[in-house]
């Protein structure tokens, strides 16, 4: 589903542990790392899409997490022209995303990257809160920064400010 402006509705997931470190996953068969994210179906709310994507990409269920907050609306990014599929109509120019911050209540052993027949990720690790801003693919850096700026106020509910090094 692509909107009238050429953006695909999507959700992004920032999964944080007690110490403020966040879940960072390597895309399967690639060298790129990112937060879990995925497209919305036409019959889903952003929150429903988030829980579906969380389970598909990490194997985690709603009882493995606590929803702490979300961005107040859509954050957009444009795809570089080389990633656009001009042979598909309508052409997707980029993504518009609602980002969610989740508190991780489970154990690392509960993460199942092979929860589907076509896994999105093949490895994960926990990184400092701001690490992804400088280490995601460059065209996503601005949207990652904006998402983390919106979500950061929810983090001190469960960890100290000193656990969140600023870049």
CATH of the domain at 54: 3.90.79.10
Rounded alpha-carbon distances, angstroms, from residue 91 to 5, 94, 153: 10, 9, 36
Domain assignment present for 55: yes
Q: How far is Cα 3 from Cα 43, in angstroms, rounded to an integer?
A: 14
- With beta carbons less than 8 A apart as the criterion, state whether 53 and 15 touch: no
> Can you give the pLDDT at residue 91?
78
Domain assignment present for 21: yes
Chain CA centroid to CA 77, Å: 13
Range of the domain at 115: 7-159
Q: How far is Cα 164 from Cα 18, in angstroms, rounded to an integer?
A: 11
Could you give the 3-state DSSP secondary structure of residue 77? Answer: strand
Output the tens digit of pLDDT for each of the chain's 167 residues.
Answer: 888 888 999 999 999 999 999 999 999 999 999 999 999 999 999 999 999 999 999 999 999 999 999 999 999 999 988 777 777 778 788 999 999 999 999 999 999 999 999 999 999 999 999 999 999 999 999 999 999 999 999 986 666 554 455 55
Number of domains in the chain: 1
Domain assignment present for 151: yes
Does an H or E element contain 14, and which?
Answer: strand 7-16
Does an H or E element contain 34, and which?
Answer: strand 33-34
Domain assignment present for 165: no
Burial class (CB in 10 A: 0-12, 13-18, 19+), 15: buried
> Can you give the pLDDT at residue 21?
95
Could you give the 3-state DSSP secondary structure of residue 38? Answer: strand
Domain assignment present for 166: no
Domain assignment present for 63: yes
């Amino acid at each position: 589903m692509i909107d009238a402006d050429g953006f695909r509705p999507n959700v992004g997931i920032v999964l944080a542990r007690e110490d403020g470190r966040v879940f960072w996953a390597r895309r399967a068969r690639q060298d790129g790392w990112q937060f879990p994210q995925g497209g919305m179906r036409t019959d889903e709310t952003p929150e429903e899409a988030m829980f579906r994507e969380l389970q598909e990409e990490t194997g985690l269920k709603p009882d493995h997490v606590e929803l702490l907050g979300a961005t107040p609306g859509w954050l957009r990014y444009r795809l570089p022209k080389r990633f656009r599929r001009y042979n598909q109509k309508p052409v997707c120019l980029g993504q518009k995303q609602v980002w969610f911050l989740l508190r991780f209540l489970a154990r690392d052993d509960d993460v199942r990257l092979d929860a589907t027949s076509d896994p999105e990720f093949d490895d994960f690790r926990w990184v400092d809160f701001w690490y992804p801003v400088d280490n995601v693919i460059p065209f996503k850096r601005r949207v990652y920064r904006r998402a983390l700026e919106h979500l950061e106020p929810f983090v001190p509910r469960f960890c100290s400010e000193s656990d969140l090094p600023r870049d």
